[in-house]
Amino acid sequence: MHEKTIAQLSAGLAAGEFSSEELTCALLERVERFNPQLNAFITITAEAALAQARTADARRRAGAAGPLTGIPIAHKDIFCTNGVRTSCGSRMLDRFIAPYNATVVEKLNAVGAVMLGKTNMDEFAMGSSNETSFYGPVRNPWDLDAVPGGSSGGSAAAVAARLTPGATGTDTGGSIRQPAALCGVTGIKPTYGRVSRWGMIAYASSLDQGGPMARTAEDCALLLGAMAGFDLRDSTSVERPVPDYMALLDQPLTGLKIGLPKEYFGEGLDHAVAQVVEVAIAEYRKLGAETVEISLPNSQLAIPAYYVVAPAECSSNLARFDGARYGHRCEHPKDLLDLYTRSRGEGFGAEVQRRILVGTFALSAGYYDAYYLKAQQIRRLISDDFRRAFQQVDVIAGPTSPTVAFNLGEKVDDPITMYLSDIYTIAVNLAGLPGLSLPAGFVGQRPVGLQLIGDYFAEDRLLNIAHRYQQVTDWHLRAPAAFA
């Protein structure tokens, strides 16, 4: 059963080939067997999952089942889950038991999905390799010496290793798309505001967006359809109808115009990755699409702008973790200042502390205009580049990551090199656009991802374009040999 996609599992449940309880038991056995090697899960909720599965089976017998009823999934440990630890991959929240469900969790519970557990992640979503987690690094199922990408590396690894058919992730600067690429799965970052952020622990509030990760675009369409929608509790949620993402999946690509940014195919892109991406784009030409060279001239400014905006917002968002109300609290503080400084120093890891310091500096008196304001102006220039591009083309394509997965420990002591891992994904978040990564091939034994970028609220078109490619290729069906 673990080899089946969500769509196939849904059909099997509907046909009575197996029950949700049987499916959940089978996947929990795989999690127990393989998680010690991968470290993809922080918390496994076996008893609660089986209870949800039995409820789902009862719903199906009563004729009240939908396509996701009884389907096991996992949640990135950044989404609050009522009665279950929500750690954000940090010592700061190691003992925090969320008293409510995030909207994403609430919506997936409502359609009958079964939560297997909470997946590992870079601490407070700050990282590109899943090596900053308090619970240790996640390993890539394709090569246990390699990183899975970050910050949603636990979700990507769990899907790639067939421990779960789908998982939730969050994307602040590429944290769904980059690990999806490095682990050979499909992941979509929706338009900012399409999926509620309520109950999703904030890193950078103007950039964070939740989305699904699965093996196929079809599966992502099923998950996104359940996750998306307006939420009164989230002031950044967009009040806009959610389309049927499944309805357009099979639409032909004849006449589709694909923009290829010259900036995405130059210096910094690994030659072997470029060859794989070019072959994937050639496949789209066979499907009737036309390719057009375009320019995103301000794209080289995305990383410096992002690493001012995101740390500035994180320094504000993480100020609440002070040892006074909840989260890690140091022992025997001498006074209030000692409580704050030691609790935060002990609770936050090195990368989180680095970004808090950078952000606090950027927002400080005398530097706000020089750094934060200037970064926001660059952000507008980047958005304008995309706006002009979408007047010429329907979608933009290119590599998701400049390299395949790198080895564990290879970049952990070099933050700048690590930050360059997100060079092709960050601009999408700065502009608030939707982006999708899908498997496009391999370099050696390590997967390569193709990134598709759409105009605002064009998730249905991105899913259609990815699905059509997956109908004529099998990269998304391939499994790591050790976990097949």
427-442 confidence digits (pLDDT tens) = 999 999 999 999 999 9
CA angle 85, 108, 60 (to 5 degrees): 120
Residue 319 in this model has a pLDDT that exceeds 90? yes
151 noted as active-site residue: yes
pLDDT of residue 269: 95
Q: What is the pLDDT of residue 365?
A: 83
Range 298-320 average pLDDT:
95
* pLDDT at residue number 337: 95
Q: Residue 225: which of 438, 21, 396, 66 has the closest Cα?
A: 66
Say whether 472 sits in a helix, a strand or coil: helix
Which residue in the list 19, 20, 76, 315 is annotated as catalytic? Answer: 76
pLDDT score of 346 more than 90: yes
Instruction: Give the confidence band of 18 by pLDDT, cuts at 50, 70, 90.
Output: very high
Residue 412 has pLDDT above 90, yes or no: no
Pairing relation of β-strands 114-119 and 72-76?
Answer: parallel
Measure the CA–CA gap between 142 and 439, rounded to whole angstroms: 13
Which strands form 435-443's sheet, in the order they lie side by side?
41-44, 114-119, 72-76, 166-170, 210-214, 186-189, 435-443, 446-453, 395-399, 257-261, 290-294
pLDDT grade, residue 284 (50/70/90)? very high
In tens, the pLDDT along 142-176 reads 999 999 999 999 999 999 999 999 999 999 999 99
Residue 416: the pLDDT is: 84
DSSP code per residue over 155-167: HHHHHHTTS-SEE
Share of the chain above pLDDT 70, in %: 100
- Per the listing, tokens 């991105």 go with 462
pLDDT (0 to 100) of residue 369: 87
Give the N- to C-terminal CA distance of the chain in Å, as an integer: 11
pLDDT beyond 90 at 484: no
Grade residue 367 by pLDDT with cuts at 50, 70 and 90: confident
Q: What is the pLDDT of residue 368?
A: 87
> 173-228, pLDDT tens digit by residue?
999 999 999 999 999 999 999 999 999 999 999 999 999 999 999 999 999 999 99
User: Does the pLDDT value for residue 24 go beyond 90?
Assistant: yes
Flag the least confident range among 229-238, 265-274, 359-368: 359-368
Query: Mean pLDDT, the chain, as a whole number?
Result: 97
Residue with tokens 């002009």: 388
pLDDT in tens, 29-39: 999 999 999 99
Fold of the domain spanning 6-253+458-483: Amidase signature (AS) enzymes (3.90.1300)
pLDDT reported for residue 383: 98
User: Exactly one of 20, 90, 175, 401 is catalytic; which is it?
Assistant: 175
Rounded to 10°, the helix 350-363/302-317 angle is 100
Which is the catalytic residue, given 151, 152, 315, 401?
A: 151
Q: What is the pLDDT of residue 415?
A: 86
Tokens linked to 416: 């700048």
- pLDDT at 118 > cutoff 90: yes
Give pLDDT, residue 313. Answer: 96
What pLDDT shows up at residue 243? Answer: 96
Handedness of CA 104, 106, 110, 113 (dihedral sign): positive
Half-sphere exposure of 201 (CA within 13 A, CB side): 29
407 has a pLDDT exceeding 90: yes
Q: Does the pLDDT at position 85 exceed 90?
A: yes
